[in-house]
Chain A
Amino acid sequence: GAVVSQHPSRVICKSGTSVKIECRSLDFQATTMFWYRQFPKQSLMLMATSNEGSKATYEQGVEKDKFLINHASLTLSTLTVTSAHPEDSSFYICSASLGGGFYEQFFGPGTRLTVL
């Protein structure tokens, strides 16, 4: 149980285009989903926290107009990287939490974004 999927697993796009990444909890309802970014040989950095039906909470330094997050249902959250640039190339990972006293976060497999 507690499986989280992400799609696509990797994407290559041209500079200036937008890319949407989906994160799904397959066998549970996630009250909260988290989006992380990981640059090569670095740690995971939290970008934003999203709760179903409400606006995402962004971490300091993360542009909310550039990284659009939608959490439309208890099983789906999307991250859209708008007007992507080469410096946005990274490994994007989502996680999902059951909430309600459950501590563990379940991670998706990640999406490798390369902006040319």
Chain B
Amino acid sequence: GENVEQHPSTLSVQEGDSAVIKCTYSDSASNYFPWYKQELGKRPQLIIDIRSNVGEKKDQRIAVTLNKTAKHFSLHITETQPEDSAVYFCAASNSQGAQKLVFGQGTRLTINP
């Protein structure tokens, strides 16, 4: 089955700097890669996603890149703000199959003012 590895587990950056979180996946059949932001005790919130037919997607300060050959994808947050502090999860799924999401281990991002 699919296995998703996420790094780093914790990340601390100065406000205004950029943050990058990386994930690798194992199943070449996976074709959907969402990123979620989760605050303590809350539901995961989709912040951006990418499908396998696209190499990069951007939404304001957030971007995701996908390298299908290497089976890795990354989240980039620019001009970080204190409210970006949260736990971020990557995930992978195969939309042609059971559409199960397999999550990475999570990254606790702290933005220091």
**Could you tell me which A residues sit within 8 Å of B by CB distance?**
32, 34, 42-46, 49, 57, 91, 93, 95, 97, 99, 101, 103-105, 107-110, 112
Contact = CB atoms under 8 A, between A and B. Distances in A.
A34 B51 CA distance: 21
Contact of B42 (A32, A43, A105, A110): A110
Given A46-B102, A49-B98, A93-B44, 6 more contacts: A32-B99, A44-B44, A44-B89, A104-B46, A105-B34, A107-B45
A44 B46 CA distance: 14
Interface string B20-47: 0000000000001010000001111110
B93 interface: yes
Contacts of B102: 46
Contacts of B100: 34, 46, 49
Contact of B49 (A32, A97, A99, A104): A104
Contacts of B89: 43-44
Interface of B: 32, 34, 41-46, 49, 51, 89, 93, 95, 98-106
B66 to A, nearest CB: 14
Tell me the interface secondary structure of chain A in the complex: strand
A108 B43 contact: yes
A110 B49 contact: no
A43 B103 contact: yes
A103 B95 contact: yes
A90 B46 CA distance: 22
B71 to A, nearest CB: 18
B105 A43 contact: yes
Contact of B93 (A43, A44, A45, A103): A103
Most B Cβ at <10 Å: residue of A34, A44, A46, A101: A44
